[in-house]
């Protein structure tokens, strides 16, 4: 029985190393999302950090600032959602589909 526990611990350590490696890789990966037909583009990393926000000058209407705000929020939210999906997919490769709390 001790041998079985040792194997489980070894597998857990290997999984932990692989997860740390995937998390490092995710910091470098980016996803992009747009809103307003491409008028606003947000780029987010696998750590859900915004690294770029582009706004087409045509989207800047001083008479309708709320529309621009909505476009920015929509682009960022979609980019964060895509980033979260990417993280779940990459972590799922490591965990074999196990749902481990705190990893998504």
What tokens were used for 37?
A: 């037909």
Residue boundaries of the structural domains of the chain: 2-95
Task: For residue 26, report the phi and psi dihedrals to the nearest 5 degrees.
Answer: -65, -30
List pLDDT tens digits, range 4-59: 777 888 888 888 888 888 888 888 999 999 999 999 999 999 999 999 999 999 99
Angle value at C-alpha 12, between 19 and 85, nearest 5 degrees: 30
What was the pLDDT predicted at 14?
A: 85
What tokens were used for 104?
A: 């998504």
What was the pLDDT predicted at 51?
A: 96
Question: Which residues on neighbouring strands pair with residue 44, listed in sequence order?
Answer: 31, 50
The Cα 59–Cα 82 span in angstroms is 23
What was the pLDDT predicted at 100?
A: 57
List pLDDT tens digits, range 74-103: 999 999 999 999 998 988 888 776 655 555
Residue with tokens 């800047």: 60
Question: What is the CATH architecture assignment of 2-95?
Answer: 2-Layer Sandwich (3.30)
What was the pLDDT predicted at 58?
A: 94
**Closest C-alpha among 25, 29, 28 to residue 17:** 25
């Amino acid at each position: 029985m001790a041998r079985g526990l040792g194997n489980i611990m070894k597998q857990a350590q290997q999984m932990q190393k692989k997860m740390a490696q995937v998390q490092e890789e995710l910091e470098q990966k980016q996803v992009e999302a747009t809103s307003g037909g491409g008028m606003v583009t947000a780029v987010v990393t696998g750590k859900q950090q915004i690294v770029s926000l582009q706004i087409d000058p045509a989207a800047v209407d001083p008479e309708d600032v709320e529309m621009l705000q909505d476009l920015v929020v929509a682009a960022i939210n979609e980019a964060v959602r895509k980033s979260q999906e990417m993280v779940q997919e990459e972590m799922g490769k490591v965990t074999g589909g196990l749902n481990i709390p705190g990893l998504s």
